Chains A and B, each alone.
Chain A
C-alpha cells in the first residue's frame, strides 16, 4: 500500500509571532519552524500502515527552500521518499490544493493523509480541497483508521459524539489529535534522512484568489485581580461574578 502524506513547515506553537514591515506577513527570523504537529499524526499513521501492509510512504510539501527541513523530519521518522513542490509565493488554500493535486498525480498512492490543520494559517481546509481536486472521497479530523481490502473505516469526532465513516479507497484522510502517538525520529533515522535525496518539482505561478487586507494583533487581555487565597476567597469571587462581571 503506497501512502502519500502532505506536510507543512510551520512556526513552533511556542513562537511569539511578530508582524513584518510589510504589514501582511510575519517576521521569520528568530522563529523556530517545525513539522506541523497535526502532520506528525499523519506521518505516524502512514508509517504504521506501511509496517502492517508493506508499500512506501512518500511525503509531499509545498513551500520555500526551508520546507525541506520538515521533509527531513518526516524522513527521519521513517518515510521512504520526499517530494518538494518548490514555491516561494503565497497561495490561497484552494490554489495550493490544486497544485498539490497536480503533483500527487505524478506519485503512485492508494491513500493520502494530511494533518487536520496547519497551525500557522489554521484553515483546516487543504485535505478536503485536495480530495475534491483529485475527485476522491475524504474523511476529515479522524481519530481512528482501519484499512481493509479496497475500503477503509474511520472515526471522526463531531460535537455530539463520534461518527464511523466507511469509504472506498483511494481516499484522503485528515489526522486529528488522538489518532496515534507519533514516534520520535531515531538517531539512525536522522542519519539516514540526511542521505536521502529530496525530489523537487517546480510550482506554477498563480495568483491568490484571497487578498490580504491587513494583519493585526488582537486586543490583549490585561491580567485581572487576585480575589484572595483559598476557600475563604470564594464568597467574594461569587459576588464579583454576580455583581461586577454579571455572568452568574
Chain B
C-alpha cells in the first residue's frame, strides 16, 4: 500500500504529532511506500530530519505564497502531491493546523475524511479507522469507501517510533502553481506563547487545576509543580470561566483532549465533560479534599486532602527525588 503523510513543520521543526502520523503511516504502508510531504518556509532544510521517522521519499514544497500556513495554499500543495503520487491513504496529524487542512483537502478531492482517529487499518482494501465519538463515550469503527482514504490522527494516539538515523529517504522538490489571489484567508500575525511553555496536547505530564485552586495566583503552586516535572499546566472549565486561566488551557469536552503518561488533577471534581478530555491518560492522580469526588472513581491514585498542603509537598518530594 502507498501512504502519503503531511508532515507538519514550523520553522524547520516537525510537530510531535506529525512524527506520530509518520509512524502510523509506516505501519499502514506495510511493505509498501511511505511518502512524506513537507510544506512551507524551511521545508527543504527540515526534510532530512524526517527521514529517520520512516518515509521512503519526501516531497518538499516551497513557494512565496506558502511561507506561512494557509488553508487554501496548503490544500493546493497537498492536492498536487496527491495527484502526482496517487496514494491509497493520506494521513494528517490532528493538530490545530491538521484539523483545519484535513476537511478542506477532503472536500477538494471529493472524498470523506475520517477525523481524529485513534486506530488505523485496512478493511477489504479500504481505509478503516476507530474514532472516539460523544466525547469518548463510544468508539466508532468506520471504513471510507473512497480512494484515497483520508484520516486525521489524534495526537498521542499513535507511537512515533524511535528515530532510525541510518534511514535514508529520497528528497525531491514539488512545484506547485498558485495564482496571486489564490489565498483569500491569510495569517497576518502570530502571537506566540512564552518560550519554554509545553503544549498541553503534546506534554507527557499534565498538571491541571480546578475551582479548588480558588484564585489565579494560586495556580503558581501548579506551575511550580509543573516546572519540577517538565509538565504542562491545564485547567477545568470552572477555572477558565473564573478567569484564572486562558481558554487554551481548558481540558475537556469543550477544551483540549489530552493523553499524557501522567495526569494530575488538583481540586477538580471530575465532571463528565472534564473526564471527556483526560480519561485516555495512562496514569491519573487526583488530589481533592472531598473523598466522594467523582474524579476518584477514575483515578489510579488518589490523595484526599487540601491542594494547598499536598501540592507543595509533592513538588518538594519530586525535587528531592531528582
Contact assessment for B138 and A218 in the assembled complex, using a CB-CB cutoff below 8 Å: yes
Interface membership of B314, Cβ < 8 A: yes
Could you say which residues of chain B place their CB within 8 Å of the CB of A94? 106-107, 110-113
Of B199, B300, B305, B310, most buried by chain A (CB within 10 Å of CB) is: B300
Stretch at the interface among A103-111, A166-174, A191-199: A166-174
Contacting chain A: which of B47-55, B166-174, B183-191, B208-216?
B183-191
In whole angstroms, what is the CA distance A37 to B276 when docked?
Answer: 15
A interface secondary structure, majority: mixed
Counting chain A residues whose Cβ lies within 8 A of the other chain, the interface size class is: 35 or more
Q: State which of B25-33, B37-45, B59-67, B278-286 sits at the interface with chain A.
A: B278-286
Beta-carbon contact of B96 and A125 below 8 Å? no
Chain A residues numbered 202-222 whose CB sits less than 8 Å from any CB in chain B: 209-218, 221
Across the interface, B318 reaches (CB within 8 A) one of A121, A168, A238, namely A238
In Å, the complex CA distance between A153 and B106 comes to 25
Give the contacting residue for A211; candidates B75, B115, B142; CB below 8 A.
B142
B10 to A227, Cβ gap below 8 A? no
Given that A213-B142, A226-B304 are known contacts, is A13 also in contact with B262, CB under 8 Å in the complex?
no
Nearest CB on A from B123, distance (A): 7
Which of B83-91, B128-136, B157-165 participates in binding chain A?
B128-136
B6 located at the interface, meaning its Cβ lies under 8 Å from any Cβ of chain A in the complex: no
| CB contact between B298 and one of A13, A16, A215, A223 (< 8 Å): that residue | A223
| Binary per-residue interface labels of chain B (135-151) against chain A in the complex, 1 for a CB within 8 Å, 0 otherwise | 11111111111100000
Interface presence of A229 (CB below 8 A):
yes
Chain B residue numbers with a CB within 8 Å of A11 are 134
Residues of B within 8 A of A161 (CB): 190-193
Asked if B1 is an interface residue, CB under 8 A from chain A, the answer is no
In the complex, A26 has a CB within 8 A of chain B: yes
Q: Does B314 lie within 8 Å of A125, measured CB to CB?
A: no
Contact A237 B314 (CB under 8 A): yes
Q: Decide: A237 and B285 in contact? CB cutoff 8 A.
A: yes
**Residue from A92, A227, A231 within 8 A of B302 (CB atoms):** A227
- Identify 20 residue pairs between A and B in the complex whose beta-carbon atoms are under 8 Å apart, listed by A's number: A11-B134, A13-B272, A93-B112, A93-B113, A164-B187, A210-B142, A211-B145, A215-B139, A221-B300, A223-B297, A223-B299, A231-B309, A231-B310, A231-B312, A231-B313, A234-B313, A241-B285, A242-B321, A245-B283, A245-B301
| Extra pairs beyond A129-B106, A132-B104 (14, CB < 8 Å) | A17-B138, A121-B133, A123-B115, A128-B107, A132-B103, A158-B95, A159-B202, A161-B192, A161-B193, A162-B191, A213-B142, A224-B301, A240-B301, A242-B321
Residues of A within 8 A of B (CB): 11, 13-17, 19, 26, 37-38, 92-95, 97, 119-129, 131-133, 137-141, 143, 153, 156-168, 171, 176-178, 209-218, 221, 223-231, 233-235, 237-238, 240-242, 245, 247-248
